[in-house]
Structure 1
Amino acid sequence: MLRQRIWFGVLLVAGALVSSPLPAGAQGKAKPKTEAKPKIDAQKLKAELESGDADRIGAALDALAKAGDAGAAAAPAVEALLKKGLSAELTVKALEAAGALKQSSSSAAVAPYVRHRSEDVRRAAAKALSKTKGPDAVKALKHALRHRDAQVRGIAATGLGTLGAKDALPDLFKALAHSVPEAAASIGQLCEPKDCDKFADLTGKHQFDIMSSGFDQILFRAEKEMPEEQKIKVVGRLRELGTKEAGKYLADVKGRWPEGWSKRVKQAIDAAVKATGGSGGGDDE
């Protein structure tokens, strides 16, 4: 009887193993779970936004900020609130919602708030513009590079890089010259070879960590966007600099260089690491 029970138990376990999915790795990499966005009734939230009741408006804006672009149909109502004017607290919520909805039509309503007297409001506006995108967003962020608020300037510089606003390069160079360090990375994201050379010429005029944020963007841009010759130029400039921090940075770049990318650039990096006394992982070529 005992033997029968044991055998029955073995059969149950075997059945469970057959019917259960294989563990991750046995059937390939498990797909990462994506967090489902909450289902929303955009029309209902739109009615809440038009209710005139501060609590209801605030709750609706919070819901839209969480819903993201799934609530895009409510964007016109959010824009109407921003044009009408709200308390500072609700304005921040409205700006966050506008950013989450990612509608370029919202940029015109968001833009004026970059100049708001409240630092929370103007910073929220600058962040939102990098998500709403479009010509109005780019124009407002260019102006924001000259704002008295250092955080607004930094957010604007980063936002222009995120938006791929190549026409903002002259503004970003001016911003970098006027102590907006975030402009360096955006210049690296956006520069064509001629502008990349102009940026490299600033080596030694700004702190190395600022310059390296731009060099990083240039070196790790996709090869179809940035010619390998330009990347080799950057490596050469860093090699010529010859400082300990340049060597350390080059060693770090060597360790992060993607497998299968340009061998010529990798060889230049390897040689530069040796020349500057840096030390990086991997075999030298």
Structure 2
Amino acid sequence: SKGNAPRPKLQKQGALDQMVEDFTKALTGVWSDAVQLTSFLGEVTAALGRMIVQPWRFRPTSFVHHLDHAGLRAVPIIGLICFLIGAVVMQQGVVQLKPFGAEPFAVNMVAILALREVGILLTAIMVAGRSGSAFTAEIGSMKMREEIDAMRTLGIDPMDTLVLPRVLALIVALPLLTFIGDITGLIGGGVMAIAVLGLDVPTYIDKLHEAVDFQHFMAGMIKAPFAALIIGLVGCLEGLKVEGSAESLGTHVTSAVVKAIFLVIILDAVFAMFLSAIGM
């Protein structure tokens, strides 16, 4: 009878099938994000072109405001972090090199690391967590309240008013912050070298002169504008993708920080290989 007909069994998805499906979704998501980011870069470049042709589009008040927030107010935390990392790397370098009687070479290690890698990476990661998330939250809140739609209705381009000032401010601020991070990292290493190795300040400075040159400094600094561009683009793009709920805002803020840090590390690796290949 119909009442006793066996129920069809639900097909349980195997673990391997689930893994393949998740991996495919992740790859599709990465490709989609890459396409969106490239398209957004094109929009920002077009907005920059319009601003160069029509300088009245530039908003100096907004630019200076974001330069203050992303740059000046980040100096204490970035200086402190780089100082501490420089000191820790110097202390660990001395400990690890002591069995070989090569403690003085810890100065060379800290100097090269601080200028080429640690200064820019730590600064970019801190700025991604601090300013990248702020950009997403600010633009996302405006999107939730439909302020961006209202701006478009009034004939105001959000790219000119919201995105471009933030990205340009970050491109100016990050190299300056990287320079401060480099200097404080070297000072942190110097304090530890004086405490652990018993060096005096002139000797430490002489050893820095021997260990590094202008090329090492430029190898770190050249990455800063590109890292700033990535952080600014990702932060603003994620903000514009926010929908109407608070949950969506939280998701996109988290996504902005994770993506920006991931892309900055990839950028650093690509630059490291490129600079090694050209002998810099």
Band of TM-score, shorter chain: under 0.3
Query: TM-score of the superposition, structure 2-length normalised?
Result: 0.21
Higher helix share: 2
Query: TM-score of the superposition, structure 1-length normalised?
Result: 0.21
